[in-house]
Amino acid sequence: MQDRTVMRLSTLVLTILVGPWLADAQGPTKVPRLGMLFQGSHGPSPGPALQAFLQRLHNLGYHEGENLRIDYRFAAQQLDRFVAPLDQPMYVLTVAGTDGGHPSGCLVGFATQCSIAPPRLLACLSKENHTYRAAASASVAAVHRLAASDHDLAALFGEQTGDEIDKFARCAWTSPRLFQ
């Protein structure tokens, strides 16, 4: 009976002394989580960009299901509904007349601030756009933020191409000294 009491007491003391170390050694680990949004309604198509991205994660030591969780989400062709609450401002980029003196302009596809000092804004244009070709040889470009009520300007500069029409003949504008 005394042996049993000594054994129980020894077990209790060891549990009190060693228990916290064992608990720390087996504590839960946080697994990084990555969310990916796709436009379709089913599994991601493993295109070259996605494959390259996943390979780079693998090269960095991240393995899906082991030390990385990837959550795939699908917009089911409703991406517009997903981004609508973001309410991003719209911009028009204009450049001086590089093609025979005529100014060129288009609705900016994507824009973001990319530097505070010096202040810089990144404005992305489609390579298929007339203004992209004009901007490539321009020394100066201007970015204009449209007001929420400027639907007509957004439609003119976003839906029409400078290859076919003179957008500036269809709106009121003045040429700044910078362009003269």
Q: Residue 71 is which amino acid?
A: D
Domains, the chain, in order of start with CATH, read 31-79 (no CATH), 87-171 (2.30.110.10)
The token duo for 73 is 């989400």
pLDDT, residue 13, reads: 45
In this structure, what DSSP letter does residue 43 have? Answer: S
Range with the poorest average pLDDT among 84-88, 89-93, 110-114, 144-148? 84-88
Q: Name beta bridge partners: 92.
A: 107, 144
153 contact partners, CB below 8 Å, separation of at least 6: 92, 146, 171
CA distances from 168 to 14, 85, 104, 156, 176 (A): 85, 31, 8, 9, 14
Q: What is the pTM of this model?
A: 0.53
Q: Which residue has the tokens 């007509």?
A: 152
Rounded-to-integer distance, Cα 115 and Cα 14, Å: 58
Distance CA 63, CA 112 (A): 32
Residue 24 has pLDDT above 60, yes or no: no
